[in-house]
Amino acid sequence: MRRESRRTSAGTHQRIEADASISTYVMSWKDRHPPRIGNSEFVLYVGGTTGRSILSRTAYGVPGLEFQVQLSETVFAVGDNYAVRMGESADPPFETTYRNLFSNSPDSALQKDFGQELVEESELLLIDLNQLNLGVPERQACQKLIARASREWGFFQVINHGISRDILETMRAEQVKLLKKPFLDKTNYKDSNFSAGSYRWGTPSATCLGQLSWSEAFHVSLSDVLGSGGLNSLSSTMEQFATTVSELAQTLADILAEEMGNKTCFFKETCLPTTCYLRLNRYPPCPLYPHQMSGIIPHTDSDFLTVLHQDNIGGLQLVKDGRWIAVKPNPQALIINIGDLFQAWSNNVYKSVEHRVVANPRKERFSTAFFFCPSDDTVIRWSGVEPGFYTSFSFGEYREQVKQDVDILGHKIGLSRFHLA
Ligand SMILES: O=C(O)CCC(=O)C(=O)O
């Protein structure tokens, strides 16, 4: 059981975490008076996400008043003429929203949902990008390594990548500040130019626990951010982060093309900083089904390549030779993975590999993913002499197909939708 005291604008209250889904708040007014909310007694309201619903207690400055709330609920102390928000969880209301999935899932179904395999931990191939700045032999060896990792694993990690520690840390601090805001504030987030629907959580179309992602994210089109003149510290940090990471992605994409014998300006012309996306992920702890619940369900990325900055909690897993491998975090490194578009563009030379995040029962996790994408009208086609595996398609068509599949089937089908017969 954990105890934590917090001061709020309404005074001091102590929160005792009895278990992860219910919190007991104990009012212990240490100030001179009970908070000056009004002249008469005040009332505590406990509200779910739909607003204040349950009138909990009535009290007037009684130390030791206890009340219990769900983590996703908002607590208001309401006086004569105004209300003070006393405590509110950042966590989306997973348990209440997906109550039916939890209660309708017998143990046998859960085993099917989650699988029972033992997952080995492994370090991803680590590539020092400083080698690219040395002599020709070092550069060539480094390029070959990047291409080999992309063919055999679809994943690798890089150090000396050119993104300063300062940029990474500032981005993470802004991300934490944003995602630790109360849940309701995130659903109504208006402080930046983010398009509607940028904030996402859970899996709206989930029909079983295996389809539920226990995470939340701001999935932001960089066209919403770049050139906005840095509306606030979040936007200007995202702008700085995206600009430098996009240079890294561009360099890697050019190398991968060159290693296929196709020195091209395709990526420079089609993947602009404004056509890329940034996803700020937060994975709240999930005490239910420890080490089984997905933070993000298995998926491939729909871009050319992804640059991922994760913290040191761990949980990322990828498929290698038909088995799940857990990626050991390396605080110095950024993770790079190949997306569906590169697999199609390279006619299956480079692999877009399925990956997932397993939720941690006790610790929250953050990661930042930069998706290197072209404009929607960019056509992805194989231009080599061997027979192609896929029909040509535009990125816009691909995104639309993925969206339809997720809405209708609850999961992405991906590249196999565009397989040539
Ligand atoms: O958080 C991670 O490690 C992976 C994130 C991811 O797969 C995604 O955002 O699509």
Q: 201 is written with which tokens?
A: 């959580």
Q: How far apart are CA 42 and CA 263, in angstroms?
A: 71
Pocket test for ligand 1, best of 124, 157, 278, 279 (most atoms within 8 A of CB): 279
Rounded Cα distance, 87 and 13, in Å: 9
Q: What pLDDT, on a 0 to 100 scale, did the predictor assign at position 15?
A: 40
Ligand 1 pocket, residue 358 CB under 6 Å: no
Contact indicator for 212, 101 with CB cutoff of 8 Å? yes
- For residue 167, the CA-to-ligand 1 centroid distance in Å is 19
- Give the distance (Å) from ligand 1 centre to CA of residue 40: 50
Q: Chain-centre distance of CA 130, in angstroms?
A: 29
User: Amino acid letter at 71?
Assistant: L
Structure tokens belonging to residue 71: 């983590």
pTM of the predicted protein model: 0.82
pLDDT of residue 114: 64
Which phi and psi (to 5°) does residue 220 adopt? -115, 130
Segments of the chain scoring below 70 in pLDDT:
1-88, 105-116
Residue 61 has a pLDDT of 39
- Between the CA of 277 and the centroid of ligand 1 the distance, in Å, is 13
412 close to ligand 1 (CB < 6 Angstrom) = no
- Give all domains of the chain, ordered by start, each with its CATH number: 2-89 (no CATH), 114-418 (2.60.120.330)
- For a ligand 1 pocket test, name from 124, 198, 281 the mutation site with the most ligand atoms within 8 angstroms of its C-beta: 281
The atom of ligand 1 lying closest to the CA of 369 is 9
pLDDT, position 103: 80
Tell me, what's the pLDDT at 38?
Answer: 40
Q: Which residues are catalytic?
A: 365
pLDDT, residue 108, reads 58
**pLDDT of the residue at 116:** 62
Alpha-carbon dihedral sign for residues 125, 129, 130, 136: positive
Bridge partners for 74 per DSSP: 47, 88
